[in-house]
C-alpha cells in the first residue's frame, strides 16, 4: 500500500469513513481556489470538524512526512490553497461554530470556517460589527481571512484583519495545539507571534479558533458617489481628501470598464458617461460625518467631479456597494476569462500608474478594468482575455505581470490583501533581497522544520531548513502536479 493509501486508512479509522476522500472524481472538486488557472488534484482530502480532528490529521501527516494544505471556503485569489498532489488537503469548512459572543467585552470567538459576514450579523443585535470586509465577505471564511490578512473596502479607516484578531488557537505543523495572544486582553507580553501568524498563509500552522475584536456601530454613516471624466481627476480627488485630514471609512474607485461591468450585472445606477467613479463612505459621530462630507464634496468638485450623489436610504447605500462588491464577478459579463491582480502603490501615484496600465493594455491589445481600494492605493486590475483565442492568455499574463512590476517600481508592494500564495512567488525576489528572504525563512523553519505546511507558497527559492542562512538553494520551485510558478 502507498504512503497516501496507508494515511487514508489511518485517518478513516480515526475520523470515520465520511471524513476522507480519495476518489479521483471527488478530489477534483478541490483542485483550485478562486484563482482557477492554477490547478492540482490533491492526493487526499480530509474534513475536520474540530481542533482535535485537525491535530489528528496534521500529526498523521507529520509522522508520514506527507505535506498538507488547509482550505476554508476556497475564495482565495493567490492559489494559496492550491493542494499538493502528493499530500492532504485539510478542509475546515465544516468548522463553522460561533463559540462565544461577548458583547460587553466586544469580542467574538469563532471557528475557522465561520463566514466573515456572519460575524457582523451575529454582533448586530448588540450594536456591534466586525470591520474587515473583503468583497467575498458573504462566503469567505475567517480562517482564510486570518491566513491572508484580508482587508476590504473599510480597511482604510478600520484596519486589516491583523488589527482585529486578539487571540488564536492553532495546530502547529507537528500536530501540537497551542494558543497565541491573550484573546480578550488588549495586548500580550513578549514576542508578537500572533502578528507573525496572521498573514502567514498557512505556512506555520492551521487556525482552529480566533478571537475577533468587534467595534460599536457608528452613530452616522454617509455614502457619497462622485463621478469624474477621467481616472486622473478621481485620483487627484483621493489624494486631496486624505491630505485634508479627513479619514473616510472607505474610498473606492472604478474606471469606465468596471462601471460598465457593474451596471450590466447588478444595475447599481452609477452615472453614465463617466471615466471613473469614487465611492466614499464616512462614519462616526454625526457632526464629524457632516463636516467630513462637506469637505469631501468640496474637494471632489474642485478636482473635476461632474456629479455628486449621497445615498438617501439604507437600500440605496446597499445598492451602491453592491455594484462595487460585485465588480469581480461582474467582469464575467464582459469577458469569458480574466485575471484578478492585486498590488499596492502610494496614493499620489494613482494617476500615473493608471495611465501606465492603460498603455500596457493598449500595446498588448488587452482590456483591463480597474476597481480598487483607492484610499490606501490597493489596486485590483482585472485583466480580460479569451482562453479560446490563441495567444490571448499569454498576453494577459504578460500584462498582469507588468502591472506588478509597475507597483514595485513606484514604491509599492506585490500584494495588498490577496497574499503571495503560489501565484506571486516569482515576484518575491524582485521586492526582497536574499537576506530578507532568508530571514523570513528562519521564522517559517522555526515553526515547520520539515517544510510540510502549505509547501510551495510565498518563497521563490526556499532554503531548506537547517542550511546556513545566506547559502540558498538555487533549485526552481514548483508545486507537485501543478502549473510551474516560474
- Is 3.30.43.10 the CATH classification of the domain at 3-91? yes
Q: Are the C-beta atoms of residues 198 and 132 closer than 8 Å to each other?
A: no
The predicted model scores a pTM of 0.92
pLDDT band with cut points at 50, 70 and 90 for residue 185: confident
- Is 3.90.76.10 the CATH classification of the domain at 98-216? no
390/413 Cα distance (integer angstroms): 31
258/256 Cα distance (integer angstroms): 6
Q: Could you tell me the residue ranges of all domains in the chain?
A: 3-91, 98-216, 220-328, 335-409
Q: What is the pLDDT of residues 33-57, one digit of tens each?
A: 999 889 999 999 999 999 999 999 9
CATH of 335-409, one of 3.40.50.1360, 3.90.1150.10, 3.30.70.2740, 3.40.640.10: 3.30.70.2740
Q: What is the pLDDT of residues 51-92, one digit of tens each?
A: 999 999 999 999 999 999 999 999 999 999 999 999 999 999
Q: Are the C-beta atoms of residues 308 and 226 closer than 8 Å to each other?
A: yes
Position 190 scores a pLDDT of 84
Q: What is the mean pLDDT of residues 423-449?
A: 93
Query: Residue with C-alpha cell 506527507?
Result: 66
CATH of 220-328, one of 3.30.70.2190, 3.30.465.10, 3.30.70.100, 3.40.50.2020: 3.30.70.2190
> Which 3 state secondary structure label does DSSP give 136?
coil
Q: Do domains 220-328 and 335-409 have the same CATH topology?
A: yes
Residue 477 has pLDDT above 80, yes or no: no
Q: What is the pLDDT of residues 319-365, one digit of tens each?
A: 999 999 998 889 988 999 999 999 999 999 999 999 999 999 999 99
Q: What is the mean pLDDT of residues 247-264?
A: 96
DSSP state of 112: T
DSSP state of 89: E
Amino acid at each position: 500500500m502507498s504512503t497516501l493509501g496507508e494515511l487514508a486508512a489511518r485517518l478513516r479509522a480515526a475520523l470515520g469513513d465520511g471524513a476522507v476522500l480519495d476518489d479521483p472524481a471527488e478530489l477534483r472538486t478541490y483542485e483550485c481556489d478562486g484563482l482557477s488557472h492554477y490547478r492540482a488534484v490533491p492526493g487526499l482530502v480530509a474534513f475536520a470538524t474540530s481542533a482535535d480532528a485537525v491535530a489528528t490529521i496534521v500529526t498523521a501527516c507529520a509522522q508520514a512526512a506527507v505535506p498538507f494544505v488547509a482550505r476554508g471556503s476556497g475564495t482565495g485569489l493567490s492559489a494559496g490553497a492550491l493542494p499538493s498532489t502528493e499530500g492532504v488537503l485539510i478542509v475546515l469548512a465544516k468548522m463553522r461554530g460561533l463559540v462565544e459572543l461577548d458583547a460587553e467585552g466586544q469580542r467574538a470567538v469563532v471557528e475557522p470556517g465561520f463566514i466573515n459576514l456572519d460575524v457582523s450579523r451575529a454582533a448586530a443585535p448588540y450594536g456591534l460589527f466586525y470591520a474587515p470586509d473583503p468583497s467575498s465577505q458573504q462566503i469567505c471564511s475567517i480562517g482564510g481571512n486570518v491566513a491572508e490578512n484580508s482587508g476590504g473596502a473599510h480597511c482604510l479607516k478600520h484596519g486589516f484583519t491583523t488589527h482585529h484578531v486578539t487571540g488564536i488557537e492553532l495546530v502547529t505543523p507537528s500536530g501540537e495545539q497551542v494558543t497565541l495572544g491573550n484573546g480578550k486582553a488588549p495586548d500580550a507580553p513578549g514576542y508578537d507571534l500572533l502578528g507573525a501568524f496572521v498573514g502567514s498563509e498557512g505556512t506555520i500552522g492551521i487556525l482552529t479558533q480566533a478571537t475577533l475584536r468587534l467595534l460599536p456601530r457608528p452613530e452616522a454613516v454617509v455614502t457619497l458617489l462622485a463621478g469624474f471624466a477621467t481616472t486622473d481627476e478621481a485620483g487627484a480627488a483621493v489624494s486631496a481628501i486624505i491630505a485634508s485630514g479627513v479619514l473616510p471609512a472607505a474610498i473606492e474607485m472604478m474606471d469606465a470598464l468596471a462601471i460598465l461591468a457593474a451596471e450590466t450585472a447588478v444595475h447599481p445606477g452609477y452615472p453614465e458617461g463617466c471615466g471613473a467613479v469614487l465611492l466614499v463612505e464616512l462614519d462616526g459621530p454625526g457632526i464629524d460625518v457632516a463636516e467630513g462630507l462637506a469637505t469631501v464634496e468640496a474637494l471632489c468638485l474642485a478636482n473635476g467631479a461632474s456629479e455628486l450623489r449621497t445615498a438617501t436610504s439604507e437600500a440605496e447605500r446597499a445598492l451602491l456597494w453592491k455594484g462595487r462588491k460585485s465588480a469581480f464577478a461582474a467582469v464575467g459579463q464582459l469577458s469569458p476569462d480574466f485575471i484578478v491582480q492585486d498590488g499596492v502603490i502610494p496614493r499620489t501615484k494613482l494617476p500615473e500608474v493608471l495611465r501606465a496600465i492603460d498603455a500596457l493594455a493598449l500595446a498588448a491589445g488587452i482590456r483591463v478594468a480597474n476597481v480598487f481600494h483607492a484610499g490606501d492605493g490597493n489596486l485590483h486590475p482585472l485583466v480580460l482575455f479569451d482562453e479560446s483565442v490563441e495567444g490571448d492568455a499569454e498576453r494577459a499574463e504578460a500584462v498582469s505581470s507588468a502591472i506588478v512590476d509597475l507597483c514595485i517600481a513606484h514604491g509599492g508592494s506585490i500584494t495588498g490583501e490577496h497574499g503571495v500564495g503560489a501565484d506571486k512567488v516569482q515576484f518575491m525576489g524582485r521586492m526582497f533581497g536574499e537576506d530578507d528572504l532568508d530571514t523570513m525563512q528562519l521564522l517559517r523553519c522555526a515553526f515547520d522544520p520539515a517544510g510540510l505546511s502549505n509547501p510551495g507558497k510565498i518563497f521563490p527559492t526556499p532554503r531548506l531548513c537547517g542550511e546556513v542562512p545566506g547559502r540558498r538553494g538555487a533549485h526552481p520551485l514548483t508545486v507537485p502536479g501543478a502549473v510551474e510558478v516560474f
